[in-house]
Amino acid sequence: MTSAANPSNFNELGLIPELIARLSDLEYTQPTPIQAQAIPNILAGNDLIAGANTGSGKTATFALPMLQTLFLAQSAKKTASKGNFVSGLILVPTRELAAQVADSVKSYSANFNGAIKTVAVFGGVSVNTQMQALRGGADIIVATPGRLLDLISSNAIKLDKVKTLVLDEADRLLSLGFTEELANLLALMPAKRQTMLFSATFPEQVKLLTQELLNDPVEIQVQSKEESTLVQRVFTVNKGEKTTVLAHLIKQHKWRQALIFVNAKKDCEHLASKLEKRGVNAQVFHGDKGQSERSRVIEKFKAGEIEVLIATDIAARGLDIEKLPVVINFNLPRSPADYMHRIGRSGRAGEVGLALSLIDYEDFHHFKIIEKKNKLRLEREEVTGFAVNQANLDAADALKNEKPMAKPEGTGKKKNKNKANQEDDVWSGWRRK
């Protein structure tokens, strides 16, 4: 783990004048802790595993040194954007994050007078448009794995000259859902490259995979609960009263905006309908929406034109909603790590934020697991006027004392072992020698 005192300004990080001037234009006054520690290591060419709270400036952390390295190489005529090649590749798990990161990279490179070509590629939109954008290659590509593989199969881009690879939201990309796609992409890249992993959380199984993916990496961890501007609160409610309590809280506090998380696509529409009957207008955001509709909803929410947005976990990672006052867990996330990603949509970049979780007696045990995994301990509160009745408390005690149901044959640890073996089989094709 690396630690260092925070430089007082970006000049101390070794960035070139063009980037320093651009950061000044963007009113970036002082490096965040992750930027202060990681940028010099990246400029030195080190592989990197970096963990930092959401909203801590991770995109600038990897984008600025990547841009600088490419710009200086071009200025020295060491590289050229000929052919269908790419030098810097940033992989992300969602379409929205791909577009957002690409926009940030383009913004940071504004003083390079078009010398750095950045292209975003992701599914849900025309592949032909993206193929046209990639003509002549690109300096930086920000991509979701599936669409990038489609473009490679069409010979629109090649990865055999990738010099820098970034996995943003690395814990998600290294999970089983992306394992095969990521392994296929890694097999197409040169073994000698700089690789960086960024995420707010790194579960143990992910840490094991990173040993195969990186070469003597520098590890940086700058999460700090003490410096957090995000307030977390937990409200216990009676079974069946979550929607009523949610509508009451929205009306009572008159939040400028609220992002509400549920676990399933159908729950988005169902909750929106129930809130509408209680006088709360809400929009929905989930994977069944077409990409144009998803983009429209996110842009309107960012612009403040949508006050209440109900979303699945596709909104939990990477999306930067400026000054979002509150995030609400209507359903608890299935994964304890996703809890941190969800609540990280609020309280970003030093802004004060609020994260609320509504739990009934069936949620009590799962929330304790979330607390344990994330090293939290939050006071249980009740919403005024919605006292939890004794029957619900008794039910919670009964669940707590209830013996676990016997697992059917073929489940449990054996299943997990098979899953691990599946991951091992996929990764074996690209492990570094």
Shared domain check, 251 and 197:
no
Would residue 131 be called left, alpha or beta, if left means φ above 0 and alpha means ψ between -120 and 50 degrees?
alpha
Beta bridge partners of 230: 353
Look at residues 221, 245, 278 and tell me which one is the last residue of a structural domain.
221
Q: What confidence tens digit (pLDDT) does each residue in 245-256 have?
A: 999 999 999 998
Distances (CA, A) of 226 to 8, 96, 222, 229, 339: 20, 30, 11, 9, 18
pLDDT of residue 302: 86
**Measured in whole angstroms, how far is the alpha carbon of residue 105 from the centre of its chain?**
16
pLDDT > 70 fraction of the chain, expressed in percent and rounded: 84
Contacts by residues 126-130 (CB-CB < 8 Å, ≥ 24 positions apart): 127/151, 127/154, 130/156
- The amino acid that residue 310 corresponds to is I
Place of tokens 């073996």: 421
SS3 of 235, please?
strand
Asked if residue 240 and residue 208 are part of one domain, the reply reads no
Identify the pLDDT of residue 62.
Answer: 97
Handedness of CA 171, 172, 173, 174 (dihedral sign): positive
pLDDT, position 413: 41
Say yes or no to pLDDT of 150 above 90.
yes
Three-state DSSP string of 79-146? CCCCCCEEEEEEECCCHHHHHHHHHHHHHHCHHHCCCCCEEEECCCCCHHHHHHHCCCCEEEEEECHH
The predicted pLDDT at position 210 comes to 76
pLDDT of residue 397: 61
**Band of pLDDT at residue 82, cut at 50, 70 and 90:** low
pLDDT of residue 186: 93
pLDDT at 176: 63
Statement: residue 136 has pLDDT above 70: yes
Host H or E run for residue 233 = strand 230-236
Model confidence band, residue 226 (pLDDT cutoffs 50, 70, 90): very low
Q: What is the mean pLDDT of residues 114-137?
A: 93
pLDDT of residue 395: 61
Any domain includes 33: yes
- On the question of pLDDT at 291 being above 90, the answer is no
Domain end position, chosen among 186, 221, 256? 221
What pLDDT is attached to residue 433? Answer: 39
Specify whether the CB–CB gap between 301 and 283 falls below 8 A.
yes
Domain assignment present for 22: yes
The top-scoring range by mean pLDDT among 263-267, 349-353, 405-409 is: 263-267
Domain range for 35 is 10-221
The reported pLDDT for the residue numbered 157 is 96
Let me know whether 204 and 351 are in one domain: no
Shared domain check, 234 and 214:
no
Pairwise pLDDT comparison (96 vs 36), residue with the higher score: 36
Alpha carbon distance 13, 21 (integer Å): 14
The CATH number assigned to the domain holding 318 equals 3.40.50.300
Within a domain: 368: yes
Task: Determine the pLDDT at residue 16.
Answer: 96
C-alpha to C-alpha distance for 7 and 35, rounded to whole angstroms: 10
Q: Look at residue 392 in the predicted model and tell me its pLDDT.
A: 65
Residue type, 117: K
195 and 282 in a single domain? The answer is no
pLDDT value of residue 8: 66
68 and 185 belong to one structural domain = yes
Q: What is the pLDDT of residue 79?
A: 54
Mean predicted confidence (pLDDT) in 291-319? 86
Is 80 exceeded by the pLDDT of residue 51? Answer: yes
**In which band, very low, low, confident or very high, does the pLDDT at 290 lie, cut at 50, 70 and 90?**
confident
More confident residue, 204 or 103: 103
Position of tokens 């209507």? 330
Asked whether the beta carbons of 284 and 309 are under 8 A apart, the reply is yes
More confident residue, 409 or 175: 175
Q: Residue 291: CA atoms inside 13 Å, Cβ hemisphere, count?
A: 13
Q: Total structural domains in the chain?
A: 2
CA distance 119 to 116: 10
Regarding whether 317 and 296 lie in a shared domain, the answer is yes
For residue 59, is pLDDT > 50?
A: yes
Domain boundary among 176, 202, 221: 221
Is 424's pLDDT higher than 60? no
In the predicted model, is pLDDT for residue 154 greater than 80? yes
Q: What is the pLDDT of residue 420?
A: 45
Whether residues 195 and 237 fall in one domain: no
Q: How far apart are CA 230 and CA 53, in angstroms?
A: 11
Q: Give every CB contact of residue 180 below 8 A, 6+ residues apart in sequence.
A: 426
Distance CA 254, CA 241 (A): 20
Residue 328 domain flag: yes
Summarize the confidence of residues 182-202 as an average pLDDT.
91
Task: Clarify whether residues 332 and 259 are in a common domain.
Answer: yes
Query: How high does pLDDT run on average in the chain?
Result: 84
**Cα separation, 200 vs 318, whole angstroms:** 10
Same domain, yes or no, for 101 and 159?
Answer: yes
Higher pLDDT, 292 or 349: 292
- Find the angle CA(20)-CA(25)-CA(27) to the nearest 5 degrees: 95
Instruction: Say if 246 falls within a structural domain.
Output: yes
pLDDT, position 398: 59
b/e per residue 31-55 (b: at least 16 CB within 10 A): bbbbbbbbbbbbbeebbbbbbbbbb
Judge if 353 and 278 occupy the same domain.
yes
Is the pLDDT at 99 greater than 50, yes or no? Answer: yes
User: 134 and 254 share a domain?
Assistant: no
pLDDT value for 268: 94
Is 0.85 surpassed by the pTM of this model? no
Higher per-residue confidence, 241 vs 207: 241
Share of residues in the chain with pLDDT > 90 (%) = 55
At residue 205, the pLDDT reads 66
pLDDT of residue 101: 94
